[in-house]
Structure 1
Amino acid sequence: MDTTRLAAGLREHTAGFAAAVENADPDRRVPTCPEWPLRVLVGHVGQEHRWAASIVRTGPSPVPDPFDADPGTPGKWSDWLNQGAADLEEAVQAAGDTPVWTFFGPQPAGFWLRRMLHDTTVHHADAALAAGKGFTVAPDLAADAISEWLELLSDPVTASLKPGFAELRGTGQTLLLDPGEGPGWLITRTPDGVRWTRESRPADVTLTGPVADLLLVFTRRLPADRVTIAGDEALAAHWLAHTAA
């Protein structure tokens, strides 16, 4: 997915997030992020865009605490959120092909645009669910979000950042995310960690549904019964119990 599409997606989902939280109670709890009131979710999204832009421009800095973010009063949330997304897009465009720091070693600056897009998309869903508003995501963005999350889970660095992900290791068990059209995501749990390919073939358990629903179930924003599960349901439940985005 090219930088132009990633940037457009970030603008779209930041604006959608801002619309979802408009006129909402800042102290309302977010069901899918139960430790956070809405103001912290808003602060986190705007804060992480600015943090990523800073990394692209000047290098690594400590991961900020969402509770330290100051998004201002609710009436200013929309402008503040959209300004953060624009700042990140500008930083990435200025960096061009220059490698920048990431948790996984030097990568093109577009890494952060992609990471922030997909994190913002999932948090857009959080905000919409909390505010009782609708949520949509384009199929190409949902598909790339699933692929990107699997790329992160399969990198050995991830288990060192979040040791709980080590529970996803296995002895060859397979899960298939099947969107019904086109290739799915075949996940294999090996002793060394998660492996995956874009293909559809029989697996120990298959989750089938629209790609947007697969994304939201996969990131634990919707319950598993939003998709069809065939095969080893305990394997699917174990996977979902040990992942979080």
Structure 2
Amino acid sequence: MDLDTARFAQGLHEHTAGFAKAVAGADPEAPVPTCPEWPLRVLAGHVGQAHRWAADLIRSGPAPVPDPFEADPGAPGEWSAWLQAGAADLAAAVLAAADRPVWTYFGPRPATFWLRRMAHDTTVHHADAALAAGAAFEVAPDLAADAISEWLEMLSHPVMATLRPGFSALRGTGQTLQLRPADGVGWLITRTPGGVRWTRATDTADVTLTGPVEDLLLVLTRRLSADRVTITGDHGLAEHWVAHSAA
């Protein structure tokens, strides 16, 4: 994790505001193509609900993951203020906790874990909202790169086999995938019998996905189709990975 707390807080606020702008004036019941079971109202509710849940967890300890369909973001005209209040609450909870370990899916971690997790989760949902509403979307390269690393950290953690049993399909016998951004070092992913392994490296692989880091993130999380980037090598391996690794 190369970015600091201030950068994650900035990213959280930027993409919460971007989400709110993307859905302003949109039909709250409009479907979200990349979250096919959710209308915009539920997507907005989930984002604000998740921020508040994480803030409460930092202050008081773990609680059951809430149901997005039970979230109440209020009237559409109130969404922006409600969403940004939730982001501010989370950032304040993280700053107050300092380096105190808090509960996470992967054992005790500094409270910054949740700021990073929610900054990237909000970024991807901002993309969902923009795609649903026909709005523009962009993410800074440093945030997009860290979001890719964070997702691979989670995919490769042993506890994910329990949290998301479907990820067991990503096991393999040494097949390799390279995510290669237009600028900078890429990610080399290896599928092993024990799960996913990865490192920051630019190397040869069975299949390589090349493109802007923003597009690589959105393809990795299945927000854009793989034809948005250049695929070199085993296309079937790339398709299988994308089909089974989405956030």
1:108-166 C-alpha deviation (Å, 9 max, x unpaired): 00000000000000000000000000000000000000000000000011121010001
- Identity across aligned pairs (percent)? 75
Partner residue in 1 for 2:35: 33
1:190-224 C-alpha deviation (Å, 9 max, x unpaired): 00000000000000000000000000001000010
Following superposition, the deviation at residue 180 of structure 1 comes to 2.5
**Distance in 1 between residues matched to 2:40 and 2:182, nearest whole Å:** 35
**Distance in 2 between residues matched to 1:170 and 1:54, nearest whole Å:** 39
Partner residue in 2 for 1:3: 5
1:85 has 2:112 as partner = no
Partner residue in 1 for 2:156: 154
1:114 has 2:116 as partner = yes
**Distance in 2 between residues matched to 1:75 and 1:122, nearest whole Å:** 22
**Distance in 1 between residues matched to 2:244 and 2:138, nearest whole Å:** 26
Q: 3-state SS of the aligned residue for 1:195?
A: strand
Equivalences for residues 24-173 of structure 1 within 5 A: 24-173=26-175
Q: 3-state SS of the aligned residue for 2:159?
A: helix
Partner residue in 1 for 2:183: 181
Q: 3-state SS of the aligned residue for 1:29?
A: coil
Q: Of residues 18, 27, 50 in structure 2, which corresponds to 1:16?
A: 18
**Distance in 1 between residues matched to 2:67 and 2:171, nearest whole Å:** 29
Following superposition, the deviation at residue 82 of structure 1 comes to 0.1
Following superposition, the deviation at residue 243 of structure 1 comes to 1.6
Q: 3-state SS of the aligned residue for 1:242?
A: helix
Following superposition, the deviation at residue 181 of structure 1 comes to 1.8
TM-score normalized by structure 2?
0.99
Following superposition, the deviation at residue 242 of structure 1 comes to 0.8
Q: Which runs of 5+ in 1 are unaligned?
A: none
* Matched residue type, 1:133: A
Q: Which runs of 4+ in 1 moved over 4 A?
A: none
TM-score normalized by structure 1?
0.99
Q: 3-state SS of the aligned residue for 1:87?
A: helix
**Distance in 2 between residues matched to 1:17 and 1:57, nearest whole Å:** 26
* Matched residue type, 2:163: L
Q: Which runs of 5+ in 2 are unaligned?
A: none
State the superposition RMSD in angstroms.
Answer: 0.5
